[in-house]
């Protein structure tokens, strides 16, 4: 049975770029597997988001 991936926040501590990726289904997009910052090329940090953070992101998007 397919399992939907958890929402994550990708962020770069070098240039402060960030993006929240909330998968709509079990299909993983290219954004979900990013490992390098598209702006500066440094390594991205991944933070798994809980339900409260996902709701806040959707409200204040």
Q: Structural domain boundaries of the chain?
A: 8-59
pLDDT of residue 24: 84
- Rounded to whole angstroms, the Cα distance separating 12 from 44 reads 5
Q: Is the Cβ–Cβ distance between 15 and 41 less than 8 Å? A: no
Under-70 pLDDT residues of the chain: none
- In DSSP terms, 36 is beta-bridged to 43
Tell me the C-alpha distance between 42 and 28, whole Å: 22
Residue closest to 21 by CA, chosen among 12, 39, 34: 34
pTM value?
Answer: 0.79
pLDDT for position 54: 87
């Amino acid at each position: 049975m397919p399992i939907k991936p958890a929402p994550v926040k990708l962020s770069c501590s070098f240039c402060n770029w960030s993006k929240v990726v909330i998968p709509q289904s079990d299909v993983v997009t290219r954004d979900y597997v990013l490992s390098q910052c598209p702006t500066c090329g440094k390594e991205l940090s991944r933070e798994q988001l809980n339900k409260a953070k996902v709701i806040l992101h959707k409200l204040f998007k």
